[in-house]
Amino acid sequence: MGKSGKKPKESHRHGRGHRASQFGDEDLPSSAYDAPPPRPEDSDDDDSNEAAAEGEDEGDAEAGDQGQWQVGPMPSKFHLYQLSVQSPKGDISYLQKFFLMYVGGRVPLHLQEDFCGTALLSTEWLRTDARRTAIGLDFDRESLEWCLDNNMSKIGADGYSRMLLFDGNVLQPNESRLVKQKISDLMQGLNTTNDNGSTEICDQSESAIPKCLANSTMADAVLPGRDVICAFNYSCCCLHRRKDLVLYFRHAFSALSKRGGIFVMDLYGGTSSECKLRLQRRFPSFTYFWEQEEFDIITRETRISLHFQVGKKQMLRHAFTYHWRLWSIPEIKDCLEEAGFKSIHVWVREMPDTQSSGNAKEYTADRDVKYEELQHFNQGDAWNAYVVGVANI
């Protein structure tokens, strides 16, 4: 997670770099370990924090889009997660950059977000280009339904028509089932099966209209070959066995467009990732904690919990707990190769020293340290990486 200075007037993050201006805007990618900074409009000064805290302690806060809420109940853990962990515009900029570098020749339109959770990245993907489509896959129904109610509801009927969420295991994607889209009532005229009884996203002017029926499986659906498949926030670490990792990568490989596509995942590491650690980042109305509770050197399994403190007293402990196997970059590269990816690229960003200000302290990441494609990188205290697998034509 990112660790900010006390008054992070500048955008900064721990690890995932400030995206270079050549990528077109100021947004940065993010991850649970590398929280995005409070947005510029979230003035994170002590006074505003105190004011928000008082309101929340009375149990009358309601989260706004920018992380400040004035009235209403404790915000949803998903809302807190999205505000503190995710920064989808930055991730999308990197996805575009990687696609153009390693595939090229066309604009990437079709995204699959595996381990999508609340599929914030997918909804942002749709928002910025009307030709884009997105498929989200996760086995946590609660996250998917929260996405429908809170993320997809903001992108309107056009967005709905270009996005499908599937509930299922990434190891058996074809058996995953379409999550009912509540807006389907608005689109009854469009929701039909095709002649052979299967369901499809049909390509009309390069944008997709879903014709899937609720509960269809992914195997039933006729989906466009994906230009980009991503698995972010260290989600591949949810898979503990090598054979599962290879199987998952094979599924990703076969879902990519035959015209070429990329699979992109992220990893974190460094000496600090193998010990107990508690980091925090303050936002105007809450504080986010990343806690590494254990790390087993024999299995390389780690337990990470995310906590949130809202106001002065309300603590949402273990809002999310992950049991991860912390894969190394060479292990990931080997598995990607075994799954069929022809070339693999590693982009690394060094992160600030987690020990410099002690556990449970905030620190300031250097927003000028960017991701670089590297062949070698000496171990340090903390790093983040993107691993890009390219499926060539």
Summarize as ranges the residues that interact with ligand SAM (CB under 6 A).
Answer: 85-86, 115-117, 138-140, 143, 169-171, 232-235, 238, 322
Q: How far is the CB of 320 from ligand SAM (least distance, A)?
A: 7
| Shortest Å distance, C-beta 44 to ligand SAM | 22
Length of the chain measured in residues: 393
Nearer to ligand SAM, 234 or 286 (CB): 234
Cα 303 versus chain centre, distance? 19
Q: What does the block give as tokens for 149?
A: 């109610």
CA distance 385 to 373: 9
Q: How far is the CB of 233 from ligand SAM (least distance, A)?
A: 3
* Minimum CB distance to ligand SAM, residue 45 (Å): 28
In sequence order, which residues have a C-beta less than 8 Å from that of residue 331 and are 6 or more positions away? Answer: 242, 245
CB-count exposure of residue 342 (10 Å: 0-12, 13-18, 19+): middle
C-beta of 117: minimal distance to ligand SAM in Å?
3
Task: Compute the distance between CA of residue 49 and CA of residue 312 in angstroms, rounded to an integer.
Answer: 9
Q: Which is nearer to ligand SAM, 140 or 373 (CB)?
A: 140
Contact 154, 133 (CB under 8 A): no
Give 102 or 290: the residue with its C-beta nearer to ligand SAM. 290
CB 201 within 8 A of CB 213: no
Shortest spacing between CB 138 and ligand SAM, in angstroms: 4
In the complex, least distance from residue 212 CB atom to ligand SAM, rounded to whole angstroms? 19
* CB of 141 or CB of 259, closer to ligand SAM: 141
Beta carbon nearer to ligand SAM, 322 or 377? 322
Query: With respect to ligand SAM, which residue has the nearer C-beta, 312 or 318?
Result: 318
- Would you call 388 helix, strand, or coil by DSSP? strand
Give the β-pairing of 163-167 and 228-231: unpaired
* Tokens representing residue 354 in the block: 């987690």
State the nearest-atom distance from the C-beta of 319 to ligand SAM, in Å: 12
Which DSSP state fits 297? T
Shortest reach from residue 114's CB to ligand SAM, in Å: 7
In what side-by-side order are the strands of the sheet with 133-138?
177-178, 163-167, 133-138, 110-114, 228-231, 261-269, 383-391, 343-350, 372-373
Instruction: Tell me the closest approach of the beta carbon of residue 330 to ligand SAM, in angstroms.
Output: 22
Q: How far apart are CA 192 and CA 62, in angstroms?
A: 39
46: phi then psi, degrees, rounded to nearest 5:
-60, -35
* Cβ 201 vs Cβ 221: under 8 Å: yes
Q: Are 304 and 292 in contact (CB under 8 A)?
A: yes
What's 195's DSSP letter? T
* Closer to ligand SAM by Cβ: residue 299 or 356: 299
Helix (H) / strand (E) containing 51: helix 46-57
At its nearest, how many Å lie between ligand SAM and the CB of residue 312? Answer: 27
Query: In terms of CB distance, is 171 or 213 closer to ligand SAM?
Result: 171
Residue among 34, 39, 35 nearest 65 (CA): 39
Scan for tokens 């609720």, then name that residue.
Answer: 214
Residues 6+ apart with CB under 8 A from 196: none
User: Based on CB atoms, which residue is closest to ligand SAM, 112 or 285?
Assistant: 112
Residue among 255, 279, 244 at smallest CA distance from 358? 279
If the CB atoms of residues 300 and 342 are measured against ligand SAM, the closer one turns out to be 300
The smaller minimum CB distance to ligand SAM, of residues 143 and 287, is found at 143
